[in-house]
């Protein structure tokens, strides 16, 4: 029987948010590096968020939305 580490499970909402961030970024023709720089985060972390491989806090979602110059609501509902 395979052991599952519950702490390493990414919640489905984080995966969905990551997809929305990626879709929005692509629709605006922005690079990961550009948005990461504007958000003050590492480009590798932004990539992990987009791929749903890292859990995202609300404060990080706000920073990413600010980097796009839109509200969190606009980003979440994209």
What pLDDT is attached to residue 9?
Answer: 86
Ordered DSSP codes for 43-67: HHHHHHHHTT-S---HHHHHHHHHH
What pLDDT is attached to residue 70?
Answer: 96
Angstrom distance (rounded) from CA 35 to CA 27:
13
pLDDT digits 0-9 by tens, 3-49: 555 456 888 988 999 999 999 999 999 999 999 999 999 999 999 99
In a domain, 76, yes or no: no
Mean pLDDT score, 53-65: 94
Secondary structure letter of residue 9 according to DSSP: P
Question: How many domains does the chain contain in total?
Answer: 1
CATH number of the domain enclosing 40: 1.10.260.40
What pLDDT is attached to residue 1?
Answer: 52
pTM for this model (two decimals) = 0.84
What pLDDT is attached to residue 78?
Answer: 79
């Amino acid at each position: 029987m395979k052991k599952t580490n519950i702490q390493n499970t990414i919640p489905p909402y984080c995966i969905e948010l990551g997809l929305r961030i990626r879709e929005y970024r692509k629709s605006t023709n922005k690079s990961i590096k550009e948005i990461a720089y504007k958000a003050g985060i590492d480009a590798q972390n932004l990539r992990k968020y987009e791929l749903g491989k890292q859990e995202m806090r609300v404060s990080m979602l706000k920073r990413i939305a600010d980097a796009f110059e839109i509200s969190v609501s606009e980003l979440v509902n994209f």
